Amino acid sequence: MFNKILIANRGEIALRIIRTCKEMGIKTVAIYSKADAESLHVRFADEAVCIGPPASSESYLNIPRIMAAVEITNSDAIHPGYGFLSENANFADICRQSGVKFIGPTSEMINKMGDKVTAKETMIKAGVPVIPGSEGLLKDVKQGIKIANQIGYPVILKATAGGGGKGMRIVTRDEEFENSWDSARKEAKASFANDGIYIEKYVEEPRHIEFQIIGDQHGNVIHLSERDCSIQRRHQKLVEESPSPFMTPELREKMGDAAVKAGKCINYEGVGTIEFLVDKYRNFFFMEMNTRIQVEHPVTEEVIDHDLIKEQIKVAAGHEVSGKNYYPSMHAMECRINAEDVFNGFRPSPGKITSFHSPKGHGVRVDTHVYAGYTVPPYYDSMIAKLICRAQTREECIKKMQRALDEFVIEGIKTTVPFHKALMKNEAFKSGDFNTGFMNTFNIDDCIE
Amino acid sequence: MNFNEIQELIKLVNKSNLTEFKLKDKDFEILIRTEKYHKGAQQNVVSGHQMMPSFQQPLSSPAAVNQPIQKADESSVTAAPEAPKGKNVVEIKSPIVGTFYRSSGADKPAFAKVGDQVKQGDVVCIIEAMKLFNEIESDISGTIVKVLVEDASPVEYDQVLFLVEQ
């Protein structure tokens, strides 16, 4: 087992990893930028190294500085968390060359799944159903229009290096194609330095249902069932839950099998998530794979009752997975609490938190790095806490979430708590009958202060 | 207060925006002045209970004891009497993460000792990271009045290495 892990991340996930490391008797090293000197992950790690100024490019994304910190602390493994360098194949490679274990997949696995076009080709070979679309990147508008007519409108243009909803455009007819093509390429170039675009059939009103998998270094892959992440705003997830209200035992078997097949065909090592789109007929299609631990991993933890970070560290140290799949034994939901002003277009609201009380009690979990007196810096993403509830049934879970949100006090900045309160009272959400188009029908005026 | 608690207190004060912190508890009294005090920074006086975040950081936390990145003398109680009064004392800080060396070799003389005059652009130390030896140049001129890091010890970004009197 590892002696010392350096956490190449910040915020709540850094604290999350530190907690599990402590339970496992592993020493921890926190790295931080000047803006995070007061952060909790810095306080609770055994050692902490300041690696740069606030800008991510000079700190959390800066590989030489991070490797220097590994060196002076004699860390033998790095946990990359999510975001930042967690899916950077170059970083995984540098760790391997430096003799430090990157807690995650190899650079080859990251490359295979990180490029959306290559991932899709790999899935087709593995026999996993995929969304009909272009084979490879689009050459030009003419080819695009031809394929669009073959697979049928509406179609969606997507950036091959994309993520977070950027570089995507829906096209409903030939006349719109050229403008959407130009605009998607521009955005992709600006966001990912890669303007490669591919095309897919746009699955209307799909549900986003993802499967958690774990692969070990011995070729075994298992799945831990699904999370439904259909409640999204501009392709950013707001709420996740398990089990999916749309799931049936038969569908779970089929999708779980497909997810395990996907992991096995690339010999996947580590925790990963296979994202599927599911149409109203319960046909499912591979969308993409995330080769890291995800923000919403606590939802799965709460329904299968295992520590996913611990399992992640164990497979990185060479342990074998159990060989069986895991199924949800209760219902759990997560609300992502962001420092955003819901009444002003969800614009970011950094600043000092003057008062903070997080909800507690039976079935309530809060993963957060903030506290009263903490200043939310403007340099990083806006998520400040994850509120996770679990209960025997979905109905009770929602009631618990309502209670917990009412108890949540965060003053000094604006947060998305009012949005979540309204969501938990929304009839469509409560019925379980929703898809990724849900936020288009949601009225912001329903938000409860 | 025991030694560990004092050590924790110094770290906590240093990380805050305070220039000066005074605590009196029956017969025990402690005054801590940070680098910001010597720069003459204008700070508002805050009452003691507002300084700490709402969670209770235990002052005798065992985690503090094994800190290898010791910021020696950075804001210790000895900083106040030793720094020359009324003079302009500026810091030279580390621009990178690595291991600090005072000279280019074990048998070589130190680049900068207390009392030495340095000019802008003079090499004052070497910081090694991943087998690359980076010569760190001073961006100011003056006299070295204090060396804050021991030879061959790890340093982090922005860690104060030298105090220079201008």
Average pLDDT over residues B29-58: 50
CA distance A240 to chain B (A): 29
User: Considering CB atoms only, which of B53, B130, B158 is closest to A50?
Assistant: B158
* Residue B81 pLDDT grade (very low, low, confident, very high; cuts 50, 70, 90): very low
The closest alpha carbon to B132, from A67, A199, A167, A6, belongs to: A67
Helix (H), strand (E), coil (C) string for A255-305: HHHHHHHHHHHCCCCEEEEEEEEECCCCCEEEEEEECCCCCCHHHHHHHHC
Asked if A371's CB is within 8 angstroms of B55's CB, the reply is yes
CATH of the domain at B95: 2.40.50.100
**Rounded Cα gap, residues A220 and A137, in angstroms:** 32
Strands B142-147 and B117-118: antiparallel
Tell me the one-letter amino acid at B166: Q
Q: What distance in Å separates residue B102's CA from the closest CA in chain A?
A: 17
A42-48 long-range contacts, CB within 8 A, separation 24+: A43/B57, A44/A15, A44/A18, A44/A19, A44/B63, A45/A7, A45/A14, A45/A18, A45/B63, A46/A4, A46/B63, A46/B66, A47/A73, A47/B66, A47/B67, A47/B68, A47/B69, A48/B69
Contact assessment for residue A397 and residue A333, using Cβ atoms and an 8 Å cutoff: yes
Say if residue B113 is in the same domain as residue B141. yes
Q: What is the pLDDT of residue B37?
A: 62
Q: Is residue B75 located within the same domain as residue B96?
A: no
**Hey, of B70, B74, B156, which one would you mutate to test binding to chain A, going by the most A CBs within 10 A of its CB?**
B156
Length of chain B: 166
Q: What is the pLDDT of residue A182?
A: 94
Contact call for residues A241 and A228 (beta carbons, < 8 A): yes
A412 touches chain B (CB under 8 A): no
Same domain, B68 and B121: no
Task: Based on the fold, state whether residues B72 and B94 are members of the same structural domain.
Answer: no
* Domains within chain A, CATH numbers bracketed: 4-103 (3.40.50.20), 132-201 (3.30.1490.20), 207-446 (3.30.470.20)
Same domain for B139 and B161:
yes
Residue that finishes a domain, picked among B18, B46, B81: B81
Cβ of A47 within 8 Å of Cβ of B69? The answer is yes
- B41: containing domain: 3-81
Contact residues for B88 (Cβ-Cβ < 8 A; gap 6+): B165, B166
The stretch A348-352 carries a mean pLDDT of: 95
Residues B158 and B140 in one domain: yes
Of the CA atoms within 13 Å of residue A154, those in its CB half-sphere come to: 12
| pLDDT at residue number B39 | 54
Structural domain count, chain B: 2
**Do both B76 and B92 map to the same domain?**
no
Residue A133: DSSP 8-state: B
Q: Per-residue pLDDT tens for A230-276? A: 999 988 899 999 999 999 999 999 999 999 999 999 999 999 999 99
User: Are B19 and B42 contained in the same domain?
Assistant: yes
The reply to whether B99 and B48 lie within a common domain is no
Given phi > 0 = left and psi -120 to 50 = alpha, else beta, which region is B35?
alpha
What are B141's two structure tokens?
Answer: 């001129």
Question: In the Cβ-directed half-sphere of A325, how many Cα atoms lie within 13 Å?
Answer: 19
In this structure, what token pair is assigned to residue A136?
């490879």
Note the pLDDT tens digit of each residue in B88-126: 899 999 999 999 999 999 899 999 999 999 999 999 999
The verdict on whether A207 is a catalytic residue reads no
B77 and B89 assigned to the same domain: no
B81, B99, B129 — which closes off a domain?
B81
Complex ipTM tops 0.90: no
B117 and B59, same structural domain?
Answer: no
- B82 confidence band (pLDDT: 50, 70, 90): very low
Mean pLDDT of the residues in chain A: 95
Taking the C-alpha atoms of residue B73 and residue B10, their distance in angstroms, rounded to an integer, is 10
pLDDT in tens, A164-200: 677 899 999 999 999 999 999 998 888 888 889 999 9
Range in A14-28, A195-209, A392-406, B11-25 the model is least confident about: B11-25
Q: How far apart, in whole angstroms, are the C-alpha atoms of residue A315 and residue A307?
A: 13
Residue A203 or A361, more confident = A361
Report whether pLDDT(A292) > 50: yes
Do B161 and B96 fall into the same domain?
A: yes
Give, in order, the Cα–Cα distances in Å from B147 to each of A271, A276, B126.
47, 59, 14
Shortest Cα distance, chain B CAs vs residue A357, angstroms? 10
Q: What's the pLDDT at A395?
A: 98
Q: Where does a domain end: B52, B81, B110?
A: B81
Average pLDDT of chain B to the nearest whole number: 75
Least confident of A243-252, A435-444, B71-80: B71-80
Q: Which residues of B touch A368 (CB under 8 A)?
A: none
